[in-house]
Amino acid sequence: MRTVVPITSQELSFVVAPKTIDGRSVLDLSRKLIQIPSVYGKETAIAEFIHSWMDENGFSPREIDVPEHGPDIVASFGSKSNPKIVLTGHMDTVEVMNGWQHDPFGAVVEDGLLYGLGSLDMKCGLAAMMLAFRRLAESDLADHAHVCFQAVSGEERLGDGTRKLIESGELDGASAVIVGEGFGGLKVATIGRRGGSYYDIDVQGVSSHGAIPHRGVNAIEDASRVITAISDMPMSKTGGVLSDELRPLSESQTVLRISGGSWSLSVPEKCSIRVVRCTIPGGKVDISDEFVSVIDSLGLKSKVSLRLNTDPKELYYPYMTPPNSPLVQAASRVLKRIVGTEPTLVCGVSEADDNLIAHALKIPTICMGPGETGNLARYHQPEEAISVAQLGPAANAYYELVRELISGS
């Protein structure tokens, strides 16, 4: 694909990196990606753009079909006899929320911020990885590498694109996976994530005329008692681990949906509840017994049944890549060089594609890249924006991290 200067394995540790990737090129590519609408399920246009970009830059990209979405785009360089290092990120975004003041697809830069849907989550990270991937292929380490770039669809809808890559064997043999999600920016490295266990609770009461409710059993009223009781359950904590909000890591629980009743004047006989327990690394994934014990203690007249949804698309396992692993250690060194301070190692609070990779394939996995904290952390919110000053450093962080992993392999 390219002519490179060969070096011996003994020289790998002494290679001086070529000039850095400039922030302007990352900004320009980020703006192009933001200007292409790619709400989950409608990723075809952005996939075509990335495919063309890879092709124009001398790669031979492949498309992996993802039903109900645009295709994943995969490109690689180097020898398959070398350990494979994967750079991956998603192309899709959530829908446009109410409250935007800027054009969500305008990619406007104002007061040092790049505004646009997907600027944080995660088109700027994707652009930075694309340019790092190109620079790596041009570098003096290319002959000693096996680097794969993956742009995936459907992350915002059950991780469909990454599930397809796992199913297709595209991640087989990887020694490290770097995901470009950068919640918190370059001062942190996300080395794990909480999982998500989804429970469905069905409450069966007894119908009667609504004017004589004492003859029935109101399923909605009993369901409300269930919700109150399980909301008071204790949450497990992990000592010494911070979340990506820089708070002590613990479980959390949210009632996602409650439905029941009708428009007729009748006592509701059925009500259903969906609850998610966000689980922590090393904690229990299934707490059905604890839920049942709390519900039984209420002495309800309704019959209550509970089940953990074990569908592979609705059960996310927590994970943690060990802080002393070569991947985390290398990422810490690189981020310290680029940012100037030791990065904080955190666990992400929200399930994402890296949960799938780490659990299914047991590959060392981290997330890092451009992102925001505090009031600027407008993920899945209107007026999503990212500081432009991060973009060049993010691309160089990916570039240098892969170089370190190649040199150390």
The residue from 281, 296, 311 where one domain ends is: 311
User: How high is the pLDDT of residue 14?
Assistant: 29
Query: What three-state secondary structure class fits 18?
Result: coil
pTM value surpassing 0.85 = yes
Read off the DSSP letter of residue 15: P
* pLDDT tens readout for residues 166-214: 999 999 999 999 999 988 899 999 999 999 999 999 999 999 999 999 9
Would you state the pLDDT for residue 239? 82
Query: Looking at residues 101-112, what average pLDDT do you find?
Result: 97
Roughly how many angstroms between the first and final C-alpha of the chain, as a whole number? 23
Q: Is residue 2 part of a domain?
A: no
Res 10: pLDDT:
34
Confidence class for position 293, pLDDT limits 50, 70, 90: very high
279 pLDDT more than 90: yes
Domain endpoint, select from 294, 311, 328: 311
Same domain, 227 and 164: no
Question: What is the H or E stretch that residue 297 is in?
Answer: none
Q: Specify whether 271 is located in the same domain as 348.
A: no
Binned at pLDDT 50, 70 and 90, residue 143 comes out as: confident
Give the CATH number of the domain where residue 328 resides. Answer: 3.40.630.10
Residues 102 and 188 in one domain: yes
What pLDDT shows up at residue 409? Answer: 53
What is the C-alpha separation between 55 and 238, in angstroms, rounded?
A: 46
Note whether 113 and 181 are same-domain residues.
yes
- pLDDT-derived band of residue 140, with 50, 70 and 90 as boundaries? confident
Local structure of residue 42 (DSSP, 8 states)? -
Least confident interval from 18-27, 83-92, 375-384:
18-27
Contacts of 256 (CB under 8 A, 6+ apart): 198, 274, 275, 276
Q: How far apart are CA 385 and CA 31, in angstroms?
A: 12
- pLDDT category at 28 given cuts 50, 70, 90 is very high
Expressed as residue numbers, the domain containing 353 is 9-193+318-408
Contact 313, 167 (CB under 8 A): no
- Indicate the number of domains in the chain: 2
- What single-letter amino acid sits at 8? T
Q: Does residue 3 form part of some domain?
A: no
Are 75 and 186 contained in the same domain?
Answer: yes
Q: Which of 311, 328, 361 marks a domain boundary?
A: 311
Q: Does residue 246 lie within any of the structural domains?
A: no
Please tell me whether residues 158 and 126 are part of one structural domain.
Answer: yes
Question: Where residue 72 falls among pLDDT bands split at 50, 70, 90?
Answer: very high
Is residue 363, in this structure, part of any structural domain at all? yes
Residue whose tokens read 């915002």: 156
- 270 and 183 in a single domain? The answer is no
Residue 231 lies in a domain: yes
Q: Which residue has the tokens 């904080």?
A: 344
Inside any domain, residue 257: yes
Report if residue 1 sits inside a domain.
Answer: no
Among 18-32, 45-59, 152-166, 309-323, name the one with the lowest average pLDDT.
Answer: 18-32
39 found inside a domain: yes
Residues 270, 298, single domain; the answer is: yes
Q: Is 401 found in the same domain as 275? A: no
Q: What is the pLDDT of residue 127?
A: 98
Question: 134 and 17: one domain?
Answer: yes
In sequence order, which residues have a C-beta less than 8 Å from that of residue 263 and are 6 or more positions away? none
Does residue 163 contact residue 320 with C-beta atoms inside 8 Å?
no
pLDDT at residue 4 is higher than 70: no
Question: DSSP states of 66-121 as a string?
Answer: -TTSPPEEEEEEE-TTSPEEEEEEE--B-PPPTT-SS-TTT--EETTEEESTTIII
- The DSSP-derived string for 187-213 is GEEEEEE--EEEEEEEEE-B--BTTSG
- What interhelical angle do 23-34 and 124-138 show, nearest 10? 130
Strands 303-308, 385-387: pairing is unpaired
Only one residue has tokens 């409450």, namely 203
pLDDT in tens, 221-266: 999 999 999 999 999 998 889 998 889 999 999 999 999 999 999 9
Coil, strand or helix: which one is 52? Answer: helix
Residues 202 and 183 in one domain: no
Look up the CATH number of the domain holding residue 256: 3.30.70.360
Same domain, 212 and 184: no
- Average pLDDT of every residue of the chain: 93
The Cα–Cα gap between 73 and 91 comes to 10
pLDDT the model gives residue 19: 53
Convert the pLDDT of each residue in 76-106 to its tens digit: 999 989 999 999 999 999 999 999 999 999 9
